[in-house]
């Protein structure tokens, strides 16, 4: 029997095994390659997507466990336009190689949705993703700018 997957507002009927990690379904079946493979064991966060609005590591989720539930990937994040978070990422020139950034952005956006002005400690506790290029200082700067009310120059 097929699996129904609801990704970025579109539903898909897929003939795949129950135990395939969501990551590989997104990448190889749906060709949504913005979600990345980094470690395959839930350690690096490159594969982070939103499940019911929360950040999850898609390499650790068997596809059958999320059948029918709303999933958002980086491709579906802004519904066609860039979110304030993505604009801040450009403003602060965050990405280097960029490979981790889909996962980073999904992890940070889930945090900001529940905590719009996180402290550095909040950020570090919620976002444990790895960036090998070392963009952390810029991630901090971009998040802290987002946490400030518009027009606040300080």
Q: How many other β-carbons are positioned within 10 Å of the β-carbon of residue 138?
A: 18
Determine how β-strand 3-7 pairs with β-strand 48-51.
unpaired
DSSP string covering 6-27: EETTEEEEE---TTSBHHHIII
Selection from other proteins, ligand FES, none that 72 binds (CB < 5 to 8 A by kind) is: none
Rule CB under 6 A: say whether 38 interacts with ligand FES: yes
CA distance 16 to 4: 10
Question: Tokens at residue 95, please?
Answer: 């990405």
Q: Which of 65, 82, 90, 97 is close enough to bind ligand FES by CB under 6 A?
A: 97
Residues that bind other proteins (CB under 8 A): 17, 20-21, 24, 27-29, 31-41, 43-44, 46, 73-75, 77-78, 82, 86, 89-90, 93-102, 105, 123-125, 127-140
Binding site for ligand FES (CB under 6 A): 37-40, 42-47, 57, 59, 95-101, 131-133, 135
């Amino acid at each position: 029997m097929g699996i129904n997957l609801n990704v970025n507002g579109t539903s898909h009927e897929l003939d795949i095994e129950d135990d395939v990690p969501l990551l590989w379904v997104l990448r190889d079946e749906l060709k949504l390659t913005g979600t990345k493979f980094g470690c395959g064991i839930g350690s690096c966060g490159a594969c982070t997507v939103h499940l019911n609005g929360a950040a999850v590591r898609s390499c650790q989720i068997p596809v059958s466990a999320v059948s029918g539930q709303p999933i958002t990937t980086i491709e579906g994040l802004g519904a066609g336009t860039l979110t304030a978070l993505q604009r801040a990422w450009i403003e602060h020139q965050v990405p280097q190689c960029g490979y981790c950034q889909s996962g980073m952005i999904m992890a940070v956006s889930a945090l900001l949705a529940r905590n719009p002005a996180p402290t550095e400690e909040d950020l570090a506790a919620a976002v444990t993703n790895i960036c090998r290029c070392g963009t952390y200082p810029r991630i901090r700067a971009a998040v802290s700018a987002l946490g400030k009310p518009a027009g606040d120059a300080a």
